[in-house]
Structure 1
Amino acid sequence: MEESLIQKKPRILCLHGFRTSGAILKKQIGKWPETLLHNLDLHFLDAPFPANGKSDVEGFFDPPYFEWYRSNQDFTEYINFEESIAYIEDYMVMHGPFDGLLGFSQGAFISAAVPSMQAEGVALTKVEKIKFVIIISGAKFGGIKIGQPKLAAKAFSSPIHCPSIHFIGEVDFLKEGGTDLMQSFVNPVVIYHPRGHTVPKLGQHYFVFFPFLSSLYQYGMLLF
């Protein structure tokens, strides 16, 4: 490729799952093709709160483990959600700008809600608006069996005009919620994989994911 055509890598802030860590998500994403990872500027952030209970990844990944927030049993009360959103914003102010968000599980819940929270002016107002989101095993607040924190109460009340790609596992316990979530986005790109609640290897889906990122050039981003 001619040097004049080489453009900057998209900077992506990656948010890990419940009671895991940025280091764990980095290992999970590390299964993706090097030809793709080489073209991404990925930043992995630990949630600000230590895990307040047992982690499901104990025995698979080493501690420490962190959580973005927790809720009561019927999801009517969320603890530490607003604090985590402020923490993410502070990190983005100090280390940004970031072009997109990538979230897995609990991190995907947050990532999916950010575009609307920014549009409403209720959160992350000190940073540039996110240009795209990558959602892996996520769902929406107020969706399937899940309540909603006050800050994200209106996050899915209208169609979300933010480019998005959604990974949905065929045997993921959040499959129904993930399907409901992607319907809240305008023209979502969806990758179905045969596994459960995990970050899947891309395999043949590489040829869906890479064009998604490349197509963002039309939104004013300089990619690859």
Structure 2
Amino acid sequence: MPPSPRRKILMLHGFVQSGKIFSSKTGGLRKTLNKIGYDLLYPTSPMRITKEELMVLHNIQSDEVSDKKMASEFNTNTDGQEAYYGWWKRNRSSFQDFDVGQDVWDYLHDYVISNGPFDGIMGFSQGGAFAGYLLTNFHKILNLSYEQQPPLKFFVTFNGFRLEAPQFQPSYDKHPLSTPSLHVQGEQDTVVSENRILSLYNSCQEDKRTLLRHPGGHYVPNSKQYVSQICNWIQWVESQPHTPLDDKSKEAVHEKQDCMKPDLGDDLMEAIDSMMGATRLKD
């Protein structure tokens, strides 16, 4: 028998990251998914973010922020070799004062056509929020036909939230997310509040959503324990593409999750980094 075709996942990076940085931050997950037949593709938003813009956007004085603090808050790299990007920039301190540029919509439209079709979509923080909004009406928002991109089968968001700007609310209200979704929340996340994370979770159809908590902060957990749970959930959804997730399947994903502890590996280092920052910068 010929080998099964490899499946693709669209990976949307967070604020002050890039596709390359997001790839490095999801190493454990990426390697495991590669082994079970998935290729992860990491686009980089066309909207560049400079450190100077970041300081103005968040009203930060130059002596109040360091590269180390920026790295811990946004789970990014600050080695001087990387440029930073975002899917949008806030116009001021309000979560509701922003818009997404047409160049971003056009870029994702072209990226999906050139690199897809995709089976699923994942996003971290701002990228998870953006993915969630896209899924309210993916084909209309990105001007795609079902021949160009069949309906996505799953959505995984790490510390993602519902977009708060008024112009995006009608799409959430008219089109509750029906794609099976896994919402991974760091219980010690000081960047995106639990209420904001749950706002996206509550925008999804009740029988299609699953919440998975880990005891860390604002990062993608890469320990074997959580990578296994995420991959098991994806495989479950893929095996029953037309069947809503029932209570038993949800329990299988996050059974005893509150009493589990992460491996003393990558997640421990991420947790330490997450606690180092004092200035709280928000997506």
State TM-score, norm by structure 2: 0.66
* From 93, 97, 122, the counterpart of 1:77: 97
Q: State the distance in 2 between where 1:114 and 1:17 align.
A: 15
3-state DSSP class of the match of 2:156? Answer: strand
- Number of the residue aligned with 1:41: 39
- Where in structure 1 are there 5+ consecutive unaligned residues? none
RMSD of the alignment, in Å? 2.4
Counterpart of 2:230, as a letter, is F
What is the 5 A alignment of 1:68-217?
Answer: 68-73=87-92, 74-118=94-138, 121-126=140-145, 127-128=148-149, 129-142=151-164, 147-148=165-166, 150=167, 152-157=168-173, 158-173=175-190, 174=192, 175-186=194-205, 187-215=208-236, 216-217=238-239
- Number of the residue aligned with 1:29: 26
Q: Answer yes or no: is the 8 Å Cα contact 1:85–1:124 preserved in 2.
A: no
Give a deviation string over 1:160-180, Cα, whole Å, max 9, x none: 210111110101132221122
Q: Answer yes or no: is the 8 Å Cα contact 1:117–1:124 preserved in 2.
A: no
Residue 79 to residue 182, structure 1, CA distance change in 2 (3 Å): closer
- Where in structure 2 are there 5+ consecutive unaligned residues? 55-66, 72-76, 243-283
- Number of the residue aligned with 2:271: none
* From 64, 72, 82, the counterpart of 2:83: 64
Normalized per residue, the structure richer in strand is 1
Give a deviation string over 1:25-76, Cα, whole Å, max 9, x none: 0011103373333222100111102114248235367411112111222244
How many pairs were matched up?
A: 210
Counterpart of 1:190, as a letter, is L
3-state DSSP class of the match of 1:98? Answer: coil
Q: Which has the larger radius of gyration?
A: 2
Equivalent pairs: percent with the same residue?
A: 25
Counterpart of 2:13, as a letter, is H
